[in-house]
Structure 1
């Protein structure tokens, strides 16, 4: 672990991984129960600002995926490899099992870690994710579009998949579009390849941890039926549908998301 610098009282922290520097941030009291947040494709750890601000007393850990935010690029990634990155981060920041909150690709990472490293986890929150997301052909088409025209060529389509119409009408939408555009195109592409190759359907029944699953009524990237079908494969998982929300509940309705996850965190992180 290393400290790179400080801006406005926030220390930017780095975990050395085989592929390079993994940027992460910790908010909350040193003695608070630890919650780790895993981002979606094309976002960085700022995705969770509204959620973290509403979870006083918890030690909230966020990180940037390879090629996203301030993390280095990895030449190639897989869901399994990303889960090992998170395992290394948990080993660095926590001395007891944590709750891992994962959104989209972050939710697939959480599922993988729940099967491969269950002792590290007290529970999982799977938001707007599934055991398999998209088809190989669809991911190949998206990769080809980014290779040909950069992320700007797909940005408007991504906003439609990410957000409900009401949110897209807000003046803050350009900030989220700019977050996507600030992602390295090659980092986005390697993550797309990881998603194209990932199918966790066969191992979902092996998850034996407390689990909350969140779906967004207006989600164009992981529709509610897909999320519900995946939740049904996990014994005891509690499914919540957020009305009027798209693919990124932390952006669209952070308070509503916290209302779902805070009781779960207090229950499993006693």
Structure 2
């Protein structure tokens, strides 16, 4: 996979297709493969860009802690590197925080947002410090089972469909995970997100144990003219547990805002 050589960091990314750009930003402890099952269900005529956050996947792993500003700057520099403008930026969980930060900082890069299973603030400093400390002493394995319960609906787990994603979580660098925990714990976008006015679709999963629907709805209501969609039966990662439905919601949004014509 290609690497973007930024001044102080190498970011792993994929840039596929031509047309209106859509950029995908993944959740904590995963990587760009999180979107694999969604992309085949999207229409033609799109330029699809995915990347691994610092500390994740094939990207470099700087020493923790990280700041959310650094994660936002990584996305900004990648899009500048690729010559992407006026994209729809799709961020899930941690990726949704990056999406908000990027839109606040560089509205020339972003013409629409999809904020999936995320919020203007997720948890608090103490929660994320506790998770970081757990990984520091016991590795990611120490929180893997609890994470699966928060991420995926009971039936999905009962069928064993979560197991590849548990393995993917365990493959994440502990330093990368801990660095991102610090970034999430230190982020509160409530006031700046309330200043945004661009087209936005917020997506929640009814069975999300990390960012419950009311939290996602509250964030959507900060953005003037935003839309809110509840995916019933989905958990924290509907791009994984319901990719066709997720792709349908995304596609409908792209048509409604004129990002693609149909």
Q: Tell me the TM-score range normalised by the shorter chain.
A: over 0.9
The partner residue of 1:47 within 25, 31, 34 is: 34
| 2:53 counterpart residue number | 65
Alpha-carbon distance in structure 2 between the residues aligned to 1:252 and 1:262: 17
Alpha-carbon distance in structure 2 between the residues aligned to 1:19 and 1:168: 39
| 2:259 counterpart residue number | 269
1:74 aligns with 2:62: yes
| 2:223 counterpart residue number | 234
| 1:7 counterpart residue number | none
| 2:22 counterpart residue number | 35
Moved more, 225-234 or 184-193: 225-234
How far the C-alpha of 1:171 sits from its partner, in A, is: 2.9
| 1:177 counterpart residue number | 166
| 2:27–2:92 CA contact under 8 A, matched in 1 | yes
Between Structure 1 and Structure 2, how many residues are aligned? Answer: 257
| 2:152–2:162 CA contact under 8 A, matched in 1 | no
After TM superposition, the score normalised by the length of structure 2 is 0.95
The verdict on how the C-alpha distance between 1:241 and 1:93 changes in structure 2, with shifts beyond 3 A counting, is same
| 2:232 counterpart residue number | 243
How far the C-alpha of 1:149 sits from its partner, in A, is: 0.4
The partner residue of 1:215 within 201, 204, 221 is: 204
Alpha-carbon distance in structure 2 between the residues aligned to 1:59 and 1:208: 24
Extract unaligned runs of 5+ from structure 1. 1-11
Extract unaligned runs of 5+ from structure 2. none
Alpha-carbon distance in structure 2 between the residues aligned to 1:242 and 1:19: 39
Alpha-carbon distance in structure 2 between the residues aligned to 1:210 and 1:107: 15
How far the C-alpha of 1:81 sits from its partner, in A, is: 1.6
Alpha-carbon distance in structure 1 between the residues aligned to 2:142 and 2:68: 26
1:56-78 Cα shifts (integer Å, max 9, x gaps): 32111100011111111122422
| 2:88–2:111 CA contact under 8 A, matched in 1 | yes
Alpha-carbon distance in structure 2 between the residues aligned to 1:65 and 1:218: 26
After TM superposition, the score normalised by the length of structure 1 is 0.92
Alpha-carbon distance in structure 1 between the residues aligned to 2:142 and 2:159: 22
- Pairwise mapping of residues 1-270 of structure 1 onto structure 2 (< 5 A)? 12-28=1-17, 30=18, 32-57=19-44, 58-75=46-63, 76-266=65-255, 267-270=257-260
Query: Secondary structure of the equivalent of 2:98?
Result: helix
1:21-79 Cα shifts (integer Å, max 9, x gaps): 10001222x3x211000000000100000111111321111000111111111224222
Query: Secondary structure of the equivalent of 1:119?
Result: coil
